[in-house]
Amino acid sequence: MNGYQLDWWAVLSGQPREWLFSGIWMTFRLTVFSSLLATVIAVILLAMRLTTSRLLQGIAASYITVFRNTPLAVQFLFWYFGVIPLLPELWRDWLNETHIYAGFTFPSMELIAGIWGLGLFSAAFIAEELRAGVRAVSAGQFEAARSQGLSAWQTLRYVILPQALANSWQPLIGQYLNLMKNSTLAMSIAVAELCYQVNQIESYNLHAIEAFAVGSLIYLLLGLFLSSSLDAFGRVIFKHKRSHSHG
């Protein structure tokens, strides 16, 4: 190893350890809030694509085309350097202040831009997975619900979406995992998430191997935690998928 001595403690103690914890917390917030935002937008996009309005269908399809076919890093830079300076000064002041909601503080415009950028990007992918799940639901399900007098939204909410979710649950888990991993790109707009902090440790004490190895391990654990909890959640909520035995 060219005489290089691995020193894990240099990464796991003192200032570097604080940075790691702060990075994990930031990655966690970025992932959770982006996932929520992405899910809401994805459901809206799905609803738009299922309407009979050509205009709404077109808007949703264009959204998905644009956000899926441009790099996330460019999108982050676009929002952060392109759009935020165009906002009215009052809004920017508000964004720069510290806000506390439900125990979460939002001290930085960077985090908000990160959640926004990552949420909008991931929504396009999640919407596509949901649409694939909807396509696998038989036309008879739409007809049954509509023939009962349920509105288009009630049909989607109570009949189609639960089945579409069950159909596309595994690929959806993959999309939420991608979202978590893509959150590393938010470092390009100075969101101090885990990857940003690991990089900072490397600049601070030059323990590159240890820093990036520890960073990778933490991402691996976060990923395993995320996918196994979503998997377990799916097994609880999609009860009917477990009861096909009698056929």
Can you give the binding site for other proteins, defined by CB under 8 A? 138, 140-141, 143-151, 154, 158-159, 162-163, 166, 238-240, 243-247
Nearer to other proteins, 164 or 195 (CB): 164
Q: How far is the CB of 2 from other proteins (least distance, A)?
A: 60
Q: How far is the CB of 5 from other proteins (least distance, A)?
A: 58
Q: How far is the CB of 161 from other proteins (least distance, A)?
A: 10
CB within 8 A of 192, min separation 6: which ones? 22, 23, 26, 110
Element (H, E) at 122: helix 109-135
Alpha-carbon span 63 to 58, nearest angstrom = 8
Nearer to other proteins, 1 or 242 (CB): 242
Nearer to other proteins, 5 or 147 (CB): 147
Quote the DSSP letter at residue 141: H
Q: How far is the CB of 226 from other proteins (least distance, A)?
A: 24
Nearer to other proteins, 69 or 147 (CB): 147
Q: How far is the CB of 160 from other proteins (least distance, A)?
A: 10
Identity of the residue numbered 226: L
CB within 8 A of 147, min separation 6: which ones? none
Q: How far is the CB of 54 from other proteins (least distance, A)?
A: 17
Helix axes 169-182 and 208-237, enclosed angle (nearest 10)? 150
Nearer to other proteins, 17 or 157 (CB): 157
Nearer to other proteins, 54 or 239 (CB): 239
Closest to 34 in 3D by CA, of 232, 233, 237, 226: 226
CB within 8 A of 133, min separation 6: which ones? 163, 164, 165, 166, 167, 168, 172
